[in-house]
Amino acid sequence: RNRAAKRAVDLIGATVAIILFSPVMLLTALVVAFTEEGSVIYRQERVGLHNQVFYMYKFRSMIMQDEEKEKAEWSTRNDPRITPVGKLIRRTSIDELPQLFNVLKGDMSIVGPRPERKYYIDKIVKKAPFYYLLHNVKPGITSWGMVKYGYASDVDKMIERLQYDILYYENMSLVLDLTILIYTIRTVFTGKGI
């Protein structure tokens, strides 16, 4: 019942958000298309529910680069690869809006642990094998770890942030999801991004 209720909330929430934010997404797509090289939407492999690989969508916020090199480099808040437009859309989390379509597809939830790339997961589980517990739930656009800890720029910081995602995993509920959404809105409006 809880899974069905969460999926219903995800479908309704993502649909409403896409309608509400469609002008912002259209404007962002146009600005990115006319100011940056490469595709407007950036697809990145992530690992989700039951260890399944899927493509997570974002508005392009970084310069074009070799895919293999990009996989092995950490992205940080002040990464020099971030474009001028990318700085704005990251600070306001607009770059994350295409993930609403991941929610509609069923790859992601609105709230859940943030999905990582396999490259980093392989490094994390060497120190924290319990990370695999997170693959029992759909990953989210926002998470308890993101709003309480923020960006993690190396494996040790990812493991520190992991404690919040495990706490979420152990206490999942629609009330907790609502709490995380409230924190997320506050975080976005203070310009910290998610």
| pLDDT tens digits for range 122-142 | 999 999 999 999 999 999 999
| DSSP track, 31-45 | HHHHHSSS-SEEEEE
pLDDT for the residue 144: 93
Residues 8-58 pLDDT 10s: 999 999 999 999 999 999 999 999 999 888 889 999 999 999 999 999 999
Model pTM score = 0.88
* Neighbour count for residue 93 (Cβ, 10 Å): 20
Band (2; pLDDT cuts 50, 70, 90): confident
DSSP code at position 178: H
pLDDT at position 80 is: 73
> If DSSP codes are grouped into helix, strand and coil, which group holds residue 117?
coil
pLDDT of res. 73: 64
